Amino acid sequence: MLDVNLLGKYLTVALASTLKYLGGTFTGFALGLHWIETALCSTIGMMFTIMLINYAGTPIRELLSRVRKDRPRKFTWFNRLAVKVWRIFGTKGIAFLTPALFTPPLGAALLVAFRAPRAGGFFWMLVSGLVWGVVFTLLVYRLDVVRTWFR
């Protein structure tokens, strides 16, 4: 039998992870989910954002380039960091840093901006999401500091 309450918790964790990956981890902890459930739901939420932006990213980029009045600044510290990561590590580097440093929408936008192949981007984002999901979730679930926040 499908437990609607549990499904709602899963969707809440996935939704929290669509914008900031660590948000899903804290949400799962606050909702009392098992750490494996939290890690998987966080990854599902991240992958939803990755797929959405990957398929809608090119039309959005073209629309913004037509609507934008001023050209965007090219040499910001963040752009330099993204280009450096892209040149050194490619798709794998962007995917690896997306949950930890970038946000899922930003990581997906970077892959679209660098015109990375979709299949490779999806695969490495999934691997990265699963690895970081386990790391973040175990850290949050095992740290006493976090436990005292939610009591």
DSSP string, 40-102: HHHHHHHHHHHHHHHHHHHHHHHHHHHH-SSPPPS--HHHHHHHHHHHHHHHHHHHHHTTTTS
Residue pair 70/98 in contact (Cβ under 8 Å)? The answer is no
Domain of 115 in residue numbering reads as 4-149
The whole-number average pLDDT for the span 94-109 is: 90
What is the DSSP code (8-state) at residue 32?
Answer: T
d(C-alpha 43, C-alpha 49), whole Å: 10
d(C-alpha 64, C-alpha 86), whole Å: 23
pLDDT in tens, 25-44: 999 999 999 999 999 999 99
The whole-number average pLDDT for the span 103-117 is: 88
CA dist 9 → 90, 98, 100, 114 (Å): 35, 24, 23, 35
Does 85 score more than 70 pLDDT? Answer: yes
d(C-alpha 117, C-alpha 114), whole Å: 9
* Tally of structural domains, the chain: 1
pLDDT confidence bin for 71, thresholds 50/70/90: confident
Highest mean pLDDT among 31-45, 55-69, 109-123: 31-45
Identify which has the larger pLDDT, 42 or 59. 42
Q: What pLDDT does residue 56 have? A: 86
